[in-house]
Structure 1
Amino acid sequence: MKKNKELARQHRVIQEQKINNLEKEKKILSMASMIDGQESERIRIAKDLHDGIGGLLTSVRTQIKRIEKEVSILSEFDLYKKTNQLIDEAATEVRRISQNLMPSVLRLEGLEVALEDLCTRLREVHDLKVDSHFDFRELNISETQQTFIYRIFQELTNNIVKHANATEVLMQVNNYGDHLNMIIEDNGQGFAFDKLEPQGGLGLKSIQSRVDFLSGEMEISTAAGDGTSISINIPLEEKREV
């Protein structure tokens, strides 16, 4: 009798584990579909910006140059110079937004080059001192996984720029064969977890969703006034087909 009860208990435990695993897989697939949709929309918007508005601004610049040839005195007016300057600034802003939405370097040259490009922009645009090290030796991961890893770094660095008030940043990817360890640290003002929004402030919910899809784990060490250190481990032994 006791043996039958124990077998029944073990059976319930196994069934509960199966149900939990199925629910987890369903959640991951749903998350993957949502994020894939977001990436597709990013690509579409980036292309529309580059080809549409970017193309229009180029045409406007060309037309203004033609007018200048017809009315040479225009180049002497401050208003004309200011108009040209605004067009150049608008074209630069369109390129910047398009690049953030879907970096061409990620698609054309891969994850490591894209992350180095991200570091360069942090240095040149935001005047941050960035120490970086990326180890992708003999790493074979899918394009989707590369995009997810890039987005994680992109969102974390956006947080640093917007909220941290930092002057120094450390970005690393360490390849240990069976897993990747991603580290990003800053010397900024840090934050207190108990003051974050319930739904996940600072975009951490979106970052955690990407980490979950990669079957990873994220640890955050921070305190108000004491900088922030984030470590993410991504397993490599199970290659997810995406």
Structure 2
Amino acid sequence: MSTHLFTHFIPSTPLQAAMYFIEHKSGDATGMLPLLGTWSIIFILILMLYKIESYKKKEFILLNRIHEQQEHELDIQEAERRRIAADLHDEIGSSLAAIKMNLQSLRYSSVHDEQRATSLLELVDQTSQNVRRATHNLIPPHFETTPFTSILQSYFSSLDSRGTIAFHYYCNAYQHHFTSRQELLLYRIVMELTHNIIRHAKASEATVQILFCPDYLEIMVEDNGIGLPAAFQQGIGLTSVHTRVRSLGGQIHTDSGRCGTTFIIHVPLSCEHAC
């Protein structure tokens, strides 16, 4: 195979230059060596840059696929929450209402029976409230029209009236930078961290802050409990928190010890790439 045919199949500028010098300057091979060495280095550098760029493109495609898969999983979770909330409202809620009506329509032969029925009615009312609260947690009411900060304010106000943990909630001036779907993710993040405090922290006091800064939203959740056990750090709840934070293009920092746990989350206000 001639050198012309070889360069036809491998159209490399450095290689073509080298072949030219080999054909036309073969009498002075010693003088060509520095030039050939320079072109060889340039060729290797170009090849390395091309491979690096190719790897970056592949990594970008892979990260996009992972992001799309995470978004799909979050959509499935939300759809399942809506289904469970509908079942709670339609089936259990309706059954409790029917039980209450039947108890109220009964005639009692003694004061003792009436007192027992009154106790049952109170239990039915309490159960109905628990069902409504569970439904609210699964699907916040009027989420499409109500800021997530207002829904959280209502939730923490109800916790203060019935809980053993003193929750302090603070939010500065609300700013509408996020879509309804993104606000739902932010709501889920705060709720999951709050539920972890209620279930596992053994805390007496907790603070939740939602701060709209010029370039980012800061969520800080802290408690004075026993710290975060290692087993819970890899649990489903905190994993979903990390997934939602990444979906919003944000970052999360955790500091946990014997004096309590602090989560600090930063989410950029301009997150066109997210969700």
When normalised by structure 1's length, the TM-score is: 0.88
Deviation at 1:165, TM superposition (A): 1.0
- Give the corresponding residue for 1:146: 183
Alpha-carbon distance in structure 1 between the residues aligned to 2:129 and 2:212: 36
Does the CA-based 8 Å contact 2:251-2:267 persist in structure 1? Answer: yes
Q: 2:271 aligns with which of 215, 219, 238?
A: 238
- Give the corresponding residue for 2:78: 39
Distance 1:238 1:87, change over 3 A: closer
Does the CA-based 8 Å contact 2:254-2:261 persist in structure 1? Answer: yes
Distance 1:237 1:103, change over 3 A: closer
**Match status 1:25 vs 2:64:** yes
Deviation at 1:73, TM superposition (A): 2.9
- Give the corresponding residue for 1:73: 109
Aligned AA (2:220): I
- Give the corresponding residue for 1:196: 231
- Give the corresponding residue for 1:170: 207
Aligned AA (1:215): G
CA shift digits 1:24-78 (9 cap, x unpaired): 11111111111111111111211221122111211221122222xxx24366414
Alpha-carbon distance in structure 2 between the residues aligned to 1:123 and 1:49: 25
CA shift digits 1:154-176 (9 cap, x unpaired): 00000111111111211112222
Alpha-carbon distance in structure 2 between the residues aligned to 1:110 and 1:119: 15
Look at both structures and tell me which one has the larger radius of gyration over its CA atoms: 2
Alpha-carbon distance in structure 2 between the residues aligned to 1:90 and 1:119: 20
- Give the corresponding residue for 1:217: 251
Alpha-carbon distance in structure 1 between the residues aligned to 2:63 and 2:69: 10
- Give the corresponding residue for 1:98: 135
Percentage of pairs with the same residue: 26
**Match status 1:125 vs 2:158:** no
Does the CA-based 8 Å contact 2:206-2:222 persist in structure 1? Answer: yes
The SS at the match of 1:189 is coil
Distance 1:75 1:148, change over 3 A: farther
Alpha-carbon distance in structure 2 between the residues aligned to 1:159 and 1:93: 19
Does the CA-based 8 Å contact 1:50-1:94 persist in structure 2? Answer: yes
**Match status 1:207 vs 2:241:** yes
- Higher mean displacement: 109-118 or 146-155: 109-118
Structure 1: segments with no counterpart, 5+ residues = none
Deviation at 1:139, TM superposition (A): 2.5
Deviation at 1:132, TM superposition (A): 2.3
Deviation at 1:179, TM superposition (A): 1.4
Aligned AA (1:220): T
CA shift digits 1:130-183 (9 cap, x unpaired): 222223543321111101100000000001111111112111122223211111
- Give the corresponding residue for 2:91: 52
The SS at the match of 2:143 is helix
Structure 2: segments with no counterpart, 5+ residues = 1-39
Bigger relative CO (Cα 8 Å, ≥ 6 apart): 1
Q: 1:158 aligns with which of 191, 195, 205?
A: 195
Does the CA-based 8 Å contact 2:171-2:210 persist in structure 1? Answer: yes
